[in-house]
Amino acid sequence: MGSRFLLLWVLGLICLLPSKSGAGSLPWGELQADLRGAPSIADSGNPEDETECLLCHKPYIEKFSTTRHAQVLAASHPGKLGSACETCHGPLGRHLKNMLAEKKKSPNSVQSKPGFVFSFKNSPAASKNRVCLQCHESAERVLLWRGSLHDNLGISCDKCHVVSQRRSRQHLLASRDPKKVCFQCHRDKRSKMMRTSHMPLREGKMTCSSCHNPHGGNGPNLLNESSINLTCFTCHQEKRGPFVWEHMPVRENCANCHDPHGSNFRPLLKQKLPFLCQQCHMQVFHPGDLYDGRKLGGTSRLGGKSCINCHSQVHGSNHPAGAKFQR
Amino acid sequence: MSRFSALVLLMTALTAGLPAQAAEEEPAPVYEIVGDEIHSGDNGDWIPQGWSGEFSLGGAGVALSRPSFKFGEYTGIEGAGGYAVANGEFRYFKQDRTFDLYLDNLGLDNRKVALDYGKMGQYKVFGQWDQTPHLLFSENRTPYQGTGGSRLTLPASFTRQPSFEGIPLPASNPVALKVDSRNEAEVGLQREIGRNRFDVSFNRIEKNGIRSLGGTIGNSPGNGMGIVLPAPIDFHTNEVRAAFSHTRDNAHLQIHYFGSFFDNRQDSLVFDVPYTGLLPFIDNMNPVALGPIPAQGRLSLEPDNQFHQMRLTGAWDPSTDTRLTATAEYGMALQNNTLFPLAVGTGRALLPRQTAEAEIHNLLLQLRATTSITPRLKITGKLRRFQTDNRTPRQLFQPIVNDTGTQRPISSDQSVFTFPVEYSKNQGDLDLSYQLLDATVLKLDYRLLHTNRDFRAIDNSFENRVSLGATSNELEWVSVTANLSFARTDTDGYNFENVRALRNTAQFLGSPAGPLLASPADFRKKDLAENNRYQTALNLSFFPTETLTLGLSHHWVLQDFTEQALGLKEVTTHSATIDINHTAGDAATHYLFFTYDVNQVSQTGRAHNFLAPGSINDPNRNYALLLDDDSYTAGAGGNWLLFDERVNVRADYSLSKNVSDFIFNAGSDPFVANPAGLPTVKTLRHRVDGSTEYNVSDAMAVGAQVVYENYAFDDFALDTHPAGTVIPASNFPVTNGELITLSNPIQDYEAWTGMLYVTYRFRDR
């Protein structure tokens, strides 16, 4: 199976090789209807007066100027605001020419909308994303964006990131609290994090991106790491082992037993003990017994830590006599 | 509280003395048209340079109705008292230089300091220190001395008993169960040279504290006697990350190394056994024998380990519409601690090997191609293989049960094999994404996942999944995301006897005890069994006005295991949410949400034992459990800027209520008939958070915050057994041993927190 898989892997790569190469500059003319025929930035003439954008957009630029984006663009285009604006809004030549004509007609007008500029308000998600990917596609966490779950669903970058003003400390997120960005869509996770057993997301010590890469990761469910367990081990290194005695479903998937987003059963368990264990253990005597209300108070298998009162090494034991995870 | 008041006054006085920066409103732009050119009159200095930021200083006081670890679970606040409020952010930008310093919760145990300095496009150095406490339980009691270490001793005055039922435990000491702090420090460097970038970072994580760990003596079907132990947390981890990236116009390559070195300074926990007398224990296939309870027991704690990982990631855009990405990752987890003797106080001569020699390698190969066949149709294909290769030797170990019994050489009839478990997952995905309209996307996915496992009851399983999705922002007044998927997992047959044959020797399986220790043949383990999984998700956002958003969402998942008679039968989750958000410019925002979650788990079992021959196949001994877990989550609040933005008022309310019911049904056999439900597990938490901030000037604000929190939790497993008591032995179906507890029920509480602070904002131009 392994060799067949590798062959498919290589064949897939060869078959998908296209006939031409070279992505080149962003073709602005393809992104928005009124930009058709617009040249690439490299071919366009820069605005003559580098402060012209401030004439109409000063309030916007003032807010934008406090962002890291603004600082990066200011550093890469020193003294050239117009060039900085062109990075995301496309060639401004026709926009300024049109505006100039409007201003000549009505010098005090600030309401005219000359167009011929790439707008993030009404553009398709794919077009908006291509603007952002000009610079960000080579970033480690964005490398796998294209073809990822969120990309294929048509999610645009500005659903989560706001570049026009500084709302968050880092990453230009739409909210100061990174969780709230994800909660825009993942509302069921918001309620799970309010459960009594929870990781410290409410307290701000973790964020969703501590485990997930919303731009596309190497793991399942947009996880940062290539498996669920490798993701958990980034904080829980002590659980990594490997152990002499392995608990088989634990080695494969921590989420077989735990719900990392929150639970009513500590610690983050999917079902109350001992019933969680009974989903896999039905051997003779106590694994298979019925633990109902009649036994409450009279057996350690319902009280305290339940099964873990005795089988405390449930994540794996390194003791030579730890076959039943009691040592 | 007098010290607290003095602190607040001092902070206020100090901060009030800071120079307030008057920021005048910028004049409106002035146009001037000379010839064909427009001049703004601006000097081009459009971006603020120099320092900016803010810091807050103050004090807070906490009043708690009773100490409860749940209040300060991740903040470290253990009881009533006060703490200093100290937060800040300091940012600097000049031409291409940046410096950021962030300070959070300096007055609490969950403080964090992060800073970075860099020259854009060239380098960045960064560092951070992050502290996170985790309170685990309060009001715990143990008879042991030496808590926090690797040797727990009973005081000389402690009298060992065959049973403590009805006998008060002498000299039970209070012990705090908590991760005192998880300290993480990180330093790193990024360097860019042309198209190349180098990243290197080092971080160290230290975790110290005390947790609870079950210590048992003896084994079923005899009197397994137990005591929950205070076990040390003394973890130290060093980690290194290094990466090299090379970027070209249409390609990107990255090589990444990750090394993690975990050191547990306490490799075992040796404890005095509080019980005395004779204990029946089963020595695998031997009949139950009587033996003396040992004086001590030893638990292994998490062994030191290392993890090394290399990852190579490449991306290539052969055209603007096509992207190929490939990832190859190889990791090695290594652990070679010296093994303990089979029983405490004995030698290691009878061990099959002296060290663990545990080693698991993992490999990831992933190739993804995405291309636009037409401007509107995008196709993505993915091939993925993830495999683990467990190189730990598979050997027979003599089963010594919990330090009881006789240590004997490895024998073919009594020993059991270790399982170096490993698995591989081969996955193929084909996704079609079609842009129906400018802002409407339809999506169709197919996935085949083949999982191969060693040492499991199922060797191969195949999951076929189809999903349909749609996203639309076409209409100005509504946004829709919908998803529907179905997955079917098939297997090549379930045979638990295969696993027993690999685990045990042929001599044992052929003995009279062998078949008696089996599971019912019609039982399936939940992570392996055939199942169907249906899933729907719908998110709607309505925008009736520019300032109002109404959100509705519903998520439903049904996983059924129809092919199995015993085990997990069905899991159903519903989650329905309504969200309302209102924004009136910067002046006011309001929100309201409510979520209703249902989680229902249906599972069946069979209470069988070899005292009743044939019971393993007797359906009259079947029972069913339905977990009905309902959760209600709500939030409401707002933020208001009043009096010409001089006053900022904020209020938030949240509610979380969880109700978990356990409902049983059983067959006619008297052994299981007429079952009784268990008490409901309940959580109720209210939180009201209100604050007011008054902007004395553009540079300075004073603020006050009040938080009320009310928490109640009922859990039958904890509520019936306070700390330091004995859970008595049960005689169902045969006597099982008693247990000395350590932790108390979780304490309900009401908490008030009051806070006063001063914030100073600054900004150069």
Average pLDDT score over residue span A309-325: 94
- CB of A162 within 8 A of CB of A174? yes
- CB of A177 within 8 A of CB of A205? no
- CB of B486 within 8 A of CB of B465? yes
Q: Give the range among A49-53, B12-16, B384-388 with minimum mean pLDDT.
A: B12-16
Q: Do B214 and A309 make contact, defined as CB atoms within 8 angstroms?
A: yes
Facing B418 at nearest CB: one of A227, A244, A283: A244
B255: left (phi over 0), alpha (psi -120 to 50) or beta: beta
Average pLDDT score over residue span B3-26: 41
Q: Which two tokens stand for residue A14?
A: 């060869």
Distance CA B276, CA B131 (A): 43
Q: Do B37 and A49 make contact, defined as CB atoms within 8 angstroms?
A: yes
Which tops the pLDDT comparison, A44 or B483?
A: B483
Residue A257 domain-assigned (yes or no): no
Q: Do A327 and B95 make contact, defined as CB atoms within 8 angstroms?
A: no
Distance CA B597, CA A255 (A): 19
Q: Which two tokens stand for residue B475?
A: 């209409």
Facing B579 at nearest CB: one of A187, A204, A299: A187
In chain B, what residues touch A146 (CB-CB under 8 Å)?
Answer: 323, 325, 370
Say if residue B283's pLDDT is above 80. Answer: no
Distance CA A129, CA A147 (A): 12
Q: Do A289 and B606 make contact, defined as CB atoms within 8 angstroms?
A: no
Distance from the B147 Cα atom to the nearest Cα atom in chain A, whole angstroms? 18
| Shortest CA distance from B554: residue in chain A | A188
In chain B, what residues touch A12 (CB-CB under 8 Å)?
Answer: 367, 369, 381, 383
Q: Do A58 and B29 make contact, defined as CB atoms within 8 angstroms?
A: yes
Q: Do B252 and A242 make contact, defined as CB atoms within 8 angstroms?
A: no
| Shortest CA distance from A253: residue in chain B | B527
Quote the percentage of chain B above a pLDDT of 90: 69
- CB of B171 within 8 A of CB of B158? yes
Beta-carbon contacts of B599 under 8 Å, excluding residues fewer than 6 positions away, are: B571, B572, B573, B627, B629, B630, B631
Q: Which two tokens stand for residue B714?
A: 């009922």
Residue A60 domain-assigned (yes or no): yes
B556 touches chain A (CB under 8 A): no
In eight-state DSSP terms, residue B167 is: S
Q: Do A284 and B610 make contact, defined as CB atoms within 8 angstroms?
A: yes
User: Does a cis peptide bond (omega within 30 degrees of 0) precede residue B274?
Assistant: no
Can you give the pLDDT at residue A24?
Answer: 37
Facing B399 at nearest CB: one of A292, A295, A321: A321
Q: Do A303 and B739 make contact, defined as CB atoms within 8 angstroms?
A: yes
State chain B's mean pLDDT as an integer.
89
Q: Do A138 and B245 make contact, defined as CB atoms within 8 angstroms?
A: yes
Distance CA B449, CA B183 (A): 39
**Which of the residues A60, A159, A244, A251 would you substitute to probe the B interface, choosing the one with the greatest number of B C-beta atoms within 10 Å?**
A244
User: Does a cis peptide bond (omega within 30 degrees of 0) precede residue B133?
Assistant: no
Residue A46 domain-assigned (yes or no): yes
B418 touches chain A (CB under 8 A): yes
Can you give the pLDDT at residue B26?
Answer: 35
Say if residue B762's pLDDT is above 70. Answer: yes
Q: Do B456 and A248 make contact, defined as CB atoms within 8 angstroms?
A: yes
- CB of A289 within 8 A of CB of B608? no
Q: Give the range among A52-61, A113-122, B617-626 with minimum mean pLDDT.
A: A113-122
Q: Do B399 and A13 make contact, defined as CB atoms within 8 angstroms?
A: no
Distances (CA, A) of A174 to A290, A309, B251: 51, 46, 30
* Domain count of the fold of chain A: 1
Can you give the pLDDT at residue B289?
Answer: 65
Can you give the pLDDT at residue A326?
Answer: 92
Average pLDDT score over residue span A196-221: 94
| Shortest CA distance from A217: residue in chain B | B327
- CB of A65 within 8 A of CB of A163? no
Quote the percentage of chain B above a pLDDT of 70: 91
Domain interval for residue A32: 28-105
Beta-carbon contacts of B309 under 8 Å, excluding residues fewer than 6 positions away, are: B256, B257, B258, B259, B329, B330, B331, B332
pLDDT by residue (tens digit) across A112-163?
566 778 888 878 888 899 899 988 988 888 999 999 999 998 899 999 999 9
B24 touches chain A (CB under 8 A): no
Rounded to 5 degrees, φ, ψ at A103 are -70, -35
**3-state secondary structure string across A8-26:** HHHHHHHHCCCCCCCCCCC
| Shortest CA distance from B568: residue in chain A | A279
Name the residue type at position A67. Answer: T
Distance CA B57, CA B471 (A): 46
- Count of alpha carbons within 13 Å of A188, Cβ hemisphere only? 17
The helix/strand/coil state of B547 is coil
pLDDT by residue (tens digit) across A192-201?
999 999 999 9
Residue A62 domain-assigned (yes or no): yes
How far from chain centre, in Å, is Cα A119? 24
Q: Which two tokens stand for residue A144?
A: 């796998």
pLDDT band at A25 (very low <50, low <70, confident <90, very high): low
Can you give the pLDDT at residue B664?
Answer: 97
Q: Do B526 and A9 make contact, defined as CB atoms within 8 angstroms?
A: no
Q: Which helix (H) or strand (E) holds A135?
A: helix A125-136
B124 touches chain A (CB under 8 A): no
In chain B, what residues touch A66 (CB-CB under 8 Å)?
Answer: 48, 52
Q: Do A243 and B551 make contact, defined as CB atoms within 8 angstroms?
A: no
Q: Do A304 and B718 make contact, defined as CB atoms within 8 angstroms?
A: yes
Closest listed residue to residue A134, CA positions, set A207, A56, A58, A40: A40
Concatenated DSSP letters of A96-126: HHHHHHHHHH-TT--------S--SSSS-HH
In chain A, what residues touch B313 (CB-CB under 8 Å)?
Answer: 143
| Shortest CA distance from A18: residue in chain B | B318
Facing A196 at nearest CB: one of B52, B245, B713: B713
Can you give the pLDDT at residue B495?
Answer: 86
Can you give the pLDDT at residue B518?
Answer: 78
- CB of B694 within 8 A of CB of B701? yes
How far from chain centre, in Å, is Cα B634? 23
CB-based burial of residue B167 (10 Å sphere; 0-12 exposed, 13-18 middle, 19+ buried)?
A: exposed
Residue A92 domain-assigned (yes or no): yes
Average pLDDT score over residue span B607-615: 83
B177 touches chain A (CB under 8 A): no
Say if residue B489's pLDDT is above 90. Answer: yes
pLDDT band at B345 (very low <50, low <70, confident <90, very high): confident
Can you give the pLDDT at residue A39?
Answer: 52
B72 touches chain A (CB under 8 A): no
In eight-state DSSP terms, residue B525 is: -
The helix/strand/coil state of A229 is helix
Q: Do A320 and B737 make contact, defined as CB atoms within 8 angstroms?
A: no
**Which of the residues A188, A232, A314 would you substitute to probe the B interface, choosing the one with the greatest number of B C-beta atoms within 10 Å?**
A188
Distance CA A82, CA B468 (A): 43
Q: Do B319 and A23 make contact, defined as CB atoms within 8 angstroms?
A: yes
B166: left (phi over 0), alpha (psi -120 to 50) or beta: left
Residue A212 domain-assigned (yes or no): no
- CB of A227 within 8 A of CB of A219? yes
B681 touches chain A (CB under 8 A): yes
pLDDT by residue (tens digit) across B560-579?
998 888 999 999 999 999 99
Q: Give the range among A193-202, B281-290, B505-514, B629-638 with minimum mean pLDDT.
A: B281-290
Can you give the pLDDT at residue A103?
Answer: 66
| Distance in angstroms between the alpha carbons of the first and the last residue of chain A | 38
Quote the percentage of chain A above a pLDDT of 90: 51
Q: How many helices (H) and strands (E) does chain A have?
A: 11, 0
Say if residue B223's pLDDT is above 70. Answer: no
Can you give the pLDDT at residue B287?
Answer: 53
Can you give the pLDDT at residue A23?
Answer: 33
Most confident of A251-260, B44-53, B284-293: A251-260
| Shortest CA distance from B182: residue in chain A | A235
Distance CA A106, CA B261 (A): 70
Can you give the pLDDT at residue B219?
Answer: 62
The helix/strand/coil state of B81 is strand
Can you give the pLDDT at residue B15?
Answer: 38
CB-based burial of residue A163 (10 Å sphere; 0-12 exposed, 13-18 middle, 19+ buried)?
A: middle
Q: Do B31 and A108 make contact, defined as CB atoms within 8 angstroms?
A: yes
pLDDT by residue (tens digit) across B713-731?
999 999 988 888 899 887 6
Say if residue B151's pLDDT is above 60. Answer: yes
| Shortest CA distance from A299: residue in chain B | B730
Residue A79 domain-assigned (yes or no): yes
Rounded to 5 degrees, φ, ψ at A34 are -80, 5
Q: Do A319 and B340 make contact, defined as CB atoms within 8 angstroms?
A: yes
Taking one residue from A and the other from B, the number of pairs with CB-CB distance under 8 angstroms is 529
Residue A75 domain-assigned (yes or no): yes
Distance CA A234, CA A166 (A): 30
